[in-house]
Amino acid sequence: MMSSHVVVRPKEGQAEVLVAAFNALAVEVMSNEAGARAYYLVRSRADPGSYRVVELYEDDSAYEAHKQTPHYTARIDHILSLLAEPPQVEHFDTV
């Protein structure tokens, strides 16, 4: 399996909007993508303005397919517009 962790920081006053937009996307991902094992947003305890998207997929092809789905492509530009800075993405392999 592979995991993607994405650090995001919403613009001032946009945290609630970001959480709502992400949660709507997460419902679609988990309902429609057979290769998605987990897809959720967490907030840092040390820095409440910092969030992390945690994604777990069956394999790299499931991750790549995720980025082509209608629900992802319909929402990603809006989600990115809510961020104060570009997301920081790191990929991991399960061991």
**Where do the domains of the chain lie?**
2-93
pLDDT digits (tens, 9 = 90+) for 41-71: 999 999 999 999 999 999 999 999 999 999 9
pLDDT digits (tens, 9 = 90+) for 17-30: 999 999 999 999 99
2-93 topology per CATH: Alpha-Beta Plaits (3.30.70)
Predicted structure pTM score: 0.92
In our burial notation (b when 16+ CB lie closer than 10 A, e otherwise), range 55-93 reads bbbeeeebbebbeebebbeebeeebeebeeeeeeeeeee
Q: How far apart are CA 21 and CA 82, in angstroms?
A: 10
